[in-house]
Amino acid sequence: MGDQQVKQEYEIAVYGRGGVGKSCLTLQFTLSWFMDEYDPTLEDSYKKSIVIDDQMANLDILDTAGQEDAVCEEENCQPDCRKRRRQHGYIFVYDITDRVSFEEMQPLQESILRHRQRQNISSEDSFPMILVGNKSDLEASRQVFFEEGASLAEQLGCKFVETSAKDKVNVEEIFFDLVRGIRKALPSRPS
Ligand code: GDP
Ligand code: MG
């Protein structure tokens, strides 16, 4: 039985272009707090322990500072490089009012898959992720239809949800769904 399963510790990374709301989603989930201003260059991790389906989950959430340095591209990066770490699950966020952020989702997945390959993580290994269209409260400025998000998720092989970090809509759902996906992907615990 893996150590990770015993402790129910899940490392989750939040990716997406600057400004889509990665930090707001993370802070809303971990601290129930919406920030109007948050340093876009800040990368930090947040811990939260929460019961999901009658089981404790200890989440370690890496709020990345943007897609440019989403993964370490160094061939020989050092073992302590935090971007080298294998994540258990991924949250890909775009902003429904920013089409460019939506178009970056697929290349981002490809770049992470390449990165995992370099770390010798088999391509058959599961890749729990969820696609998130944030800022659903800004309907009047919408550039990406709900159906487009849903169809991209189907293509990427993951779930899809639209959220508002501002109004706290579907924020917990992202993390709950992802943890369920990670648990399903892990070999089952002996009973
Ligand atoms: P990050 O660069 O992806 O971490 O983006 P931030 O979380 O810093 O958010 C960027 C900007 O978008 C901030 O001004 C937030 O207040 C705003 N924002 C984030 N989420 C939402 C949301 O759900 N609705 C609205 N209206 N604004 C949001
Ligand atoms: Mg941020």
pLDDT tens digits, residue range 37-70? 878 788 889 999 999 999 999 999 999 885 555 5
**Per-residue pLDDT at 120 exceeds 80:** no
Q: Which of 59, 42, 37, 39 is nearest to 50 (CA)?
A: 59
What's residue 41's pLDDT? 80
Closest Cα to atom 11, ligand 1: which residue? 19
- Atom of ligand 1 at shortest range from CA of 24: 7
DSSP state of 144: S
- Atom of ligand 1 at shortest range from CA of 36: 16
Q: What percent of the chain has pLDDT over 90?
A: 60
CA distances from 34 to 14, 28, 165 (A): 17, 6, 7
Separation between Cα atoms, residue 129 and residue 110, nearest integer Å: 13
What's residue 23's pLDDT? 95
Q: Please tell me the distance between residue 36's alpha carbon and the centre of ligand 1 in angstroms.
A: 7
Q: Which of 86, 92, 85 is nearest to 129 (CA)?
A: 92
Separation between Cα atoms, residue 181 and residue 53, nearest integer Å: 12
For ion ligand 2, residues whose CB falls within 5 Å: 22-23
The type of residue at 177 is D
- Joined tokens for residue 164: 């508002």
Percent helix / strand / coil, the chain, rounded to 5: 35, 25, 40
**Per-residue pLDDT at 8 exceeds 70:** yes
pLDDT tens figures, 134-180: 999 999 999 999 999 999 999 999 999 999 999 999 999 999 999 99
Q: How confident is the model at residue 186 (pLDDT cuts 50, 70, 90)?
A: confident
The whole-model pTM stands at: 0.89
In this structure, the residues whose C-beta lies within 6 A of any atom of ligand 1 are 16, 18-24, 36, 38, 40, 134-135, 137-138, 164-166
CA distances from 171 to 16, 111, 124 (A): 16, 25, 29
Any idea which of 88-102, 109-123, 149-163 has the lowest mean pLDDT? 109-123
Q: Which of 38, 47, 1, 46 is nearest to 20 (CA)?
A: 38
- Joined tokens for residue 114: 């390449």
Residue 42, exposed/middle/buried by CB under 10 A (0-12, 13-18, 19+)?
exposed
What's residue 191's pLDDT? 37
ipTM above 0.95, yes or no: yes
Q: Please tell me the distance between residue 19's alpha carbon and the centre of ligand 2 in angstroms.
A: 7
Separation between Cα atoms, residue 182 and residue 62, nearest integer Å: 16
